[in-house]
Amino acid sequence: MKETRGDTATGPLAPDALSLPQFGGRPNLRQEIAHILRGAVITGQMRPGVLYSAPTLAEQFGVSATPVREAMLDLANEELVTIVRNKGFRVKELSDRDLDEITSLRTLIEVPTVAEIARAINEPTRAAVEELRPLAREVERLAETGDLIGYVEVDRRFHLSLLALAGNRHLIDVVGNLRARSRLYGLQGLAERGELGRSAAEHEQIVDLVVAGDAPKVAELMRRHIGHVRGSWAGYHEP
């Protein structure tokens, strides 16, 4: 693919096609900008083949280039982008095989973990799971409004917070990295057709099943939910 400079590109690959918030003097800019750029990569708003520059993105965020460069380094450490010295960064391209393997690993890890949380449910854990219900509803709201970058970030927070109840911090690191490396290019089309809310509603169903201690059903739902990553969320038709 021909390399395109981020400050001159047009169409869906250009940074000026992104809807970026203005931050001003807010704290934790590096982390917030990294969340937004990560979401833009995952949803396909930023694509391989484009050279994105920190100053151009910083201008759109309304901040200096420093937190943008720092956020870019965070994404490079996650293997989402490649830094181009003195120029900017490019999004890494993943093959279908890469994405299939990422989804397979997520299924192997997340399905039995969530099922075990449900199987071992007690009152403290049940209360902790109930605290995730607002996040589940926020995911659905963002799906309905078409805020895809917000959707990806809150979806990430929901799933990692749920998995954290298993008490294995290394598992969270692994799943967080796998999720960041996914590509969900089909979200835009689903949102435009009003179909994204249907799969988003599965988050609250997951909460219901874990709270009820129904390990078999939540395992089945989690398997189907993760399957969307290589189905409709990826832009493919799911039977």
Question: The domain spanning residue 57 has which CATH number?
Answer: 1.10.10.10
Same-domain status, 85 and 102:
no
In DSSP terms, which residues pair with 90 in a beta bridge?
82
Residue owning tokens 């997340």: 110
The pTM score is: 0.80
pLDDT of residue 234: 58
CB 23 within 8 A of CB 63: yes
Q: Residue 67: which domain range?
A: 4-91
73: in domain: yes
- pLDDT at site 99: 87
Residue 55 and residue 79 in one domain: yes
Q: Examine the domain organization and report whether 108 and 226 are in the same domain.
A: yes
Mean pLDDT by 10 residues, the chain (239 residues): 38 45 60 91 86 91 92 90 90 88 95 98 97 96 90 94 96 93 80 82 97 98 90 54
pLDDT attached to residue 12: 37
- Regarding whether 21 and 56 lie in a shared domain, the answer is yes
Would residue 239 count as lying in a domain? Answer: no
Domain for residue 114, yes or no? yes
Give residue 8's pLDDT: 35
pLDDT for res 193: 81
Same-domain status, 167 and 119: yes
> How distant, in Å, are the alpha carbons of 4, 50, 74, 86, 168 from that of 63?
24, 22, 17, 19, 36
Closest to 117 in 3D by CA, of 189, 190, 212, 230: 212
Question: At 107, which helix (H) or strand (E)?
Answer: helix 96-119
- Do 163 and 64 share a structural domain? no
In this prediction, residue 18 carries a pLDDT of 55
Verify that 10 and 82 share a domain, yes or no.
yes
Position 10 scores a pLDDT of: 32
Report DSSP letters for 20-87, one per residue.
PPP-TT-S-HHHHHHHHHHHHHHHTSS-TTEEB-HHHHHHHHTS-HHHHHHHHHHHHHTTSEEEETTT
Instruction: Judge if 56 and 148 occupy the same domain.
Output: no
Of 67, 91, 115, the one marking the end of a domain is 91
Check residue 197 and give its pLDDT: 85
Answer whether residue 228 is part of any domain.
yes
Residue 221 domain-assigned? yes
Q: Which residue among 34, 56, 91 closes a domain?
A: 91
221 and 108 share one domain: yes
Same domain flag for 71 and 176: no
| Last residue in a domain, options 32, 56, 91 | 91
Judge if 86 and 105 occupy the same domain: no
Query: Residue 120 maps to which CATH number?
Result: 1.20.120.530
Tell me what pLDDT residue 142 has: 93
Residues 6+ apart with CB under 8 A from 155: 139, 203
| Whether 33 and 114 share a structural domain | no
Residue of 49, 48, 53, 42 lying closest to 15 (CA atoms): 53
| Tally of domains within the chain | 2
